Each structure stands twice: as C-alpha cells, then as structure tokens.
Chain A
Amino acid sequence: MKESENGTVARTGNERRWKPDFAPAACYDSGSMSQKRISREQVLHVAELARIELTEAEQRQLETDLSNILGYIEKLNQLDTSAVEPTFQVGDPGTPWRDDVVTNHPDPDAMLQNAPAREGRLFKVPKIIE
C-alpha cells in the first residue's frame, strides 16, 4: 500500500503478505496466543487515523497480525522487569544541544522542489474543509 499525494491509498496489487519473521514461532501458536485480541473496530479506527483504506481481506489479515504482535509483546511482558531501570538511551548519556544560531538554508526555493503544487513561494494543497 502506498499513500498518494491526495491522501487516498493507491493499490498496487502486490501488497506483501507480511508476517514478521523475527518472532519466535511460539508466539503464533494459537494455543499460547494472548487473551488480548485486536478487534475489527480497533483496526478500522487505527486505519482511519492513518488515513488508509483497507479491503475486507486486509482488515481480517490485520486483525490477526496485530493480535499476534500484541501476543508477542505479552510474551515479553512475562519477564519480570520490576527491578530493572528502564533504558531510554544507550551510549553517551546527556543531551546533545544546538546553539541558538541561525543557519538558514542557502536556497529556500529548493525546499519547494518536491511540492506537488505551489503558488509562488507557498505550498499548495487541496482545500482544507473547515
């Protein structure tokens, strides 16, 4: 699936039937699958938030796939981490800063080169319905 400029989904016909191959097979075992399941409503809600349109078959597939992913996380959650500090960052701790110095791009017009449409120096998009 690919999102086109106008926000609708262009169908290419060869969407990959993706199944994460990095997860242990046990996670996909229906017997060990988590009680938590992603419902069709949740799939449709997330799809709407992401502005993608799904076919009936895709909806079904995602319902299973997302539930499996959640099941995998549930599996990880079985590990007792109560005594482990969360790791937010690996490597050098501390915040990398930028000084408050203006370094404007030398060619701001170049920033509009990828715009699907423009009017003068403004990006032009389909009218936003208020």
Chain B
Amino acid sequence: MASEAYEAVIGLEVHAHLQTAAKLFCGCATKFGASPNDNVCPVCIGMPGVLPVLNRRAVELAIRMGLAAHCEIAPFSIFARKSYFYPDLPKGYQISQYELPLCRGGYVELPGNGGAPRRIRLVRIHLEEDAGKNIHERDASLIDFNRSGVPLAEIVSEPDLRSAEEAVEYLNELRSLLVYVGASDGKLEEGAFRCDCNVSIRPRGSSELGVKTEIKNLNSFRFVEKAINYEIKRQIEILEAGGRIPQETHLFDPEREVTRPMRSKEFANDYRYFPEPDLPPLCVSPAMIEELRATMPELPAERRARYASELGLGDYEVGILTREREVADYFEAMIPALKNPKSAANWVMTEVLRIVNESGKSIDEAAPPATESAALLRMVEETKLSLNAAKTAFAAMVKSRKSAAATIEELGLIQISDESAIASACEAVLAAEPDKVAEYRGGRDKLFGFFVGQVMKAMGGKANPRVINEVLRKKLAG
C-alpha cells in the first residue's frame, strides 16, 4: 500500500441473489436472461391493492446462509418498508428488514494462508427484494422489472477487514458459502452479487475509526479490489496533505478506475423505515431451524481443517480443493479407492481443474466421473499404468466419455510390470550393444539411461520404468 503508516478499516455490505425458482413475494420466475418484462405481475410492478406473500424457500436459504455464518437465527423478525423514489422501484419502497432482521451476529472464517484462520464478524443477514433494472438511453430511461422482487440476502460485516485483498478473500468465502448451502449456483451473472464498501483509514496501531467513505454498487470482485485500493490511496493523500476526509458516498467508475463522490441528490439517506403492514411478522419455529440445521453440508472451513489434519494436505492445496463445493465433492469421491489422498489432490488440481477451467463448464459436465478418475489413479498406484498414460487416458475420456478400463484397453496403455517379459527385453538390448555394455562397465555411468530408453522402446513404451531400472542394474552388475 501507499503508506505503511496507515491501516485500512473496511466493512462490506453484500447483496446476493438467493437462488429460488420464484420471486420473494410473488410467483414470477427469477430466471436470468428472459426477455424484458416477461417475468412480471401486478405484485412485482407495484399495482395498487396487491399483497405480498412470502416465499418459504427464500427464507430457508437465508437461514441456511445464517447457519453457515454462525449467526443467531431470530424466531421472530419483521419486514420493513424502505422508501425512496427511483424508477426501478415501482412501489416507491423496497420491502426489506430493518429492526429485527432474520439473522444476527455470526462470523465468516477465512483461510489462514499459513497462519491461523481469521474470523470476520457479521452484523446481520436479512432478506429483501431486488429492484428492477434501468437502461439509460440518450433521451429516456427504459425499465425492465424482471429482477424486481427477486430475493436477496443482504450480508453486513463488521469493519473487520484490513486490505482490498482481504476483502476479496472474504467475498470469495461468502460466495463459496452461498454455493455450499445451495443458495447460489456461484455463477455470478450480472447483478447477482453486488457489494457496497465502507472504507476508512487510521494510523497503524490506533483503535479509533476514521471517517468512512461508502463506495456503492460494485458488481465484480475485481472492481471491489480496485475501488478499495484507489480509495485507501486517496484518503492517505488527503491526510498526508493535512486535509480532512469528509463523510461521502462514492461511485466507482470502472472505466477510469477511480471513485467519485455522488451528488447528495443521488442518495437520500432518509428512508423512513417502518414495519411493513402488508406482511405479518416472520415467525421461524425452532423445529424449522433444526430441520434446516440437520441438512447443512460440511462447510469450507470444516473441510479445510479436516483436509489439513486428516489428509495432511498443505494450505494451498486445501484452499483450491475446498473453494468450490463441487470440486471438494469430486475430490472426496476419489479418496476411498486410493491409498494416497495426495495423488488425488494433485490429480484434481492439475488434470481435472484444467479441463474445467478450459471448458468453462461445471465439473460434472466437463470431467469424467470421480470414480473413473479414481480408477485411473488406482491403476497408477498398482503400477499397472504410468502417470503419463493415465493423463493420456483422461484426455481421451473427456472427449469419449468412456470408462477408464475401456479407454486403457482401447489405447493399449496398460503398463507391463511382468519381470520376465522385461528381463527378456533387457537381455536382447544388452546382447545387441556389447560395445556400450563394455563402456558402461568401464565407468561410463551415463549410458544407463540409454539402456533404459532402448528397453522402453523395444516394449512400445508400456514397460514399468521402475522394473526396467531394477532388472538392468542387476544384469549390468552381473
């Protein structure tokens, strides 16, 4: 950062779409990419006299997210109206939660990267509806209400983050949690994951908070990182020049990579929250919470700890394997068949993730099933297959979708470990090269590699190199 004398204090407010089929208060589809105003009805375009009815699935997903973040789940919470005027908000208010949110407190644990895991505390997670989308044209604005009423979880952190990099790590972890609990598919389509950042700086070592700038509506992790770094630098420059930082709301300009203050007209902070009279309080029974708790998956932090302690994997491998639930599941499905989980870890991180990244598809679509990957590695462990042959087979399987056994058969990749077959090939090579044998025995050790190569060539590349080494050493010594 620009100066070692200052420390950044960052809190994030994240808005994440909850992946339901229907909207939060009506039955319109939430599906992304529909034609404009295809998924709208009187409720989500704010016709007079309509009444919202709460989608149970959205509440369940928000609670699952709350459980994943160790929040206290409120048995009794209320919805509130947040009033402001903007054309994408058809009712003139957003149904949100203000006092008495659904989830309170809690924390998100970030990987330690060599040190102890860090906990970022949460203030709250609440449910609210999304607004529509404005399309600004030269002389008019056009509005699509397909997104209006899509359920959002607003996840508010304490100002526990200390750098742009840590903020991005936190966002990655939140995204990961949303996918683990089934609240998101992790494909961050336009607007599905948005973030407001509160950034201030203070002299390093101080425990007081500086004046914060709020940066609004960042819709990619990259923009969050750039905006925070820009803002920290800007604030340091103001303080170093003897100035004071005014409390402001800024917008990030992704093209110029700067933040600029919004005009005060652009944000009226007086939202006049009051309890939503159209919705009764949200009552969540202990039975409902326990039912949801019982179906929670093992979470990334728990998996990280287990992979490190039980499987002996390093921080880097653990981080990559647990970030996506489907990757961790794939890896774990391979382990039972194998003696060494580390070989499965390396396999997933190299072969499997490479084709996933190249294809841009999910692991299930892009890669052969985990059991088939495991079958290949099992044969490597049993020395029936060389690691290179396993990779060749895997590449073929990605295209053909055939089983490991069929592919190896078809490509003739089985490794020959039969000592007598290898011994006779060795004898033939040594018999054909009496001069070189004499040179080797006379001290030219380098020739050993030549003999190995000749034997491998004679056996069509399928012999087990370890066995060739053993046999040749015996024969050349004798």
Q: Is the CB of B140 within 8 A of A124?
A: yes
List A contacts of B58 (CB < 8 A).
Answer: 100
Min CB–CB distance B88 → chain A (angstroms): 9
Nearest chain B CB to A21 CB, angstrom units: 23
**Closest beta carbon of chain A to B136's beta carbon, Å:** 6
**10 A-B pairs, CB-CB below 8 angstroms?**
A7-B85, A49-B272, A51-B85, A97-B53, A98-B26, A100-B22, A105-B41, A111-B42, A119-B142, A122-B143
B136 touches A130 (CB 8 A): yes
Q: B168 interface residue, CB < 8 Å from A?
A: no
* Contact A98 B143, CB 8 Å, known A103-B22, A111-B37, A127-B136: no
- 16 further A-B contacts with Cβ under 8 Å, apart from A105-B41, A111-B42, A119-B142, are A88-B275, A95-B283, A97-B53, A98-B25, A98-B26, A98-B53, A98-B55, A103-B27, A111-B37, A112-B37, A119-B140, A121-B37, A123-B143, A124-B140, A127-B139, A128-B134
Q: Is the CB of A105 within 8 A of B40?
A: yes
Interface centre among A7, A51, A104 (most CB of B within 10 A): A104
A102 pairs with B28, CB closer than 8 A: yes
In the bound complex, residues from chain B placing their C-beta under 8 Å from that of A103 are: 22, 27-28
The size of the chain A interface, using a CB distance under 8 A, is 35
Task: Bits for A72-105, please: 1 = Cβ < 8 Å to B, else 0.
Answer: 0000000000000000110001111111111111
Q: Is the CB of A98 within 8 A of B87?
A: no
Residues of A within 8 A of B55 (CB): 97-100
Interface of A is mostly: loop
Counting CB contacts under 8 A, is A126 at the interface?
yes
Contact with A along B6-40 (1 / 0, CB 8 A): 00000000000000111001111100000111111
Verify B281–A89 contact, CB threshold 8 A: yes
Please encode chain A, from 110 to 124, with 1 for each CB lying within 8 Å of some chain B CB and 0 for all others.
Answer: 011010010111111
- Chain A residues with CB under 8 A of B268: 49
Shortest CB–CB separation between residue A104 and chain B, in angstroms? 6
**B36 contacts across to A, CB distance below 8 A:** 120-122
CA distance A97 to B54 in the complex (A): 5
Report which of B86, B145, B270 forms a contact with A45, defined as CB distance below 8 A: B270
How far is A123 from B135 in the complex, measured between Cα atoms in Å? 10
Q: What residues of chain B lie closer than 8 Å to A108, measured between beta carbons? A: 37-41
User: What's the least CB distance linking B290 to chain A, in Å?
Assistant: 17
CA–CA, A126 and B85, complex, Å:
14
Q: How far is the CB of A36 from chain B (nearest CB, A)?
A: 18
B342 is an interface residue with CB less than 8 A from chain A: no
Give the distance in Å from the alpha carbon of A26 to the alpha carbon of B283 in the complex. Answer: 40
B83 touches A49 (CB 8 A): yes
A2 to B75: give the CA distance in the assembly, Å: 42
Across the interface, B21 reaches (CB within 8 A) one of A93, A100, A120, A130, namely A100
Tell me if B280 and A95 are in contact (CB < 8 A).
Answer: yes
Provide the bound-state CA to CA distance between A99 and B22, in Å: 9
Number of A-B contacts (CB under 8 A): 126
The answer on a CB contact under 8 Å between A49 and B140 is: no
B residues in contact with A104, CB < 8 Å: 27-29, 38-39, 41
> If A45-B270, A119-B142, A122-B144 touch, does A98 touch B21 (CB 8 Å cutoff)?
no
Contact of B28 among A45, A105, A114 (CB under 8 A): A105
For A94, give the chain B residue with the smallest CB separation.
B283
Judge if B413 is at the interface, Cβ distance under 8 Å: no
Whether B187 is near chain A, meaning CB under 8 Å from some CB there, is no
B87 to chain A, nearest CB (A): 5
- Asked whether any CB of chain B lies closer than 8 Å to the CB of A9, the reply is no
Question: B29, B78, B87, B141: which contacts A88 (Cβ < 8 A)?
Answer: B78
- In contact, A102 and B283 (Cβ under 8 angstroms): no
* B303 proximal to A (CB < 8 A): no
Are A96 and B45 also in contact (CB < 8 A) when A102-B21, A108-B38 are? no
CB neighbours (8 Å) of A10 from chain B are none
Cβ of A125 < 8 Å from any Cβ of B?
Answer: yes
Knowing A88-B280, A96-B54, A98-B56 touch, does A122 contact B142 (C-beta < 8 A)? yes
A62 CB to closest chain B CB, in angstroms?
16
Q: Contacts A101-B22, A128-B134; is A123 near B280 (CB within 8 Å)?
A: no
Whether the pair B54, A95 counts as a contact (CB closer than 8 A) is yes
* Chain B residue contacts of A102, Cβ below 8 A: 21-22, 27-29
> A99–B55 Cα gap in the complex (Å)?
6
Return the 3 tightest CB-CB contacts between A and B, nearest first: A103-B27, A100-B57, A122-B142
Closest to A99 in B: B56
In the bound complex, CA of A4 to CA of B432 (Å): 101
Chain B residues with CB below 8 A from A49, complex form: 83, 268, 270, 272
Among B215-247, those with CB < 8 Å from A are none
Q: Which residues on A sit within 8 Å (CB–CB) of B255?
A: none
Please tell me if B445 contacts chain A, counting CB pairs below 8 Å: no
B residues near A120, Cβ cutoff 8 Å: 36
Min CB distance B256 to A, Å, is 15
Q: Mark B266-284, 1 if CB is under 8 A from A, else 0.
A: 1010101001000011111
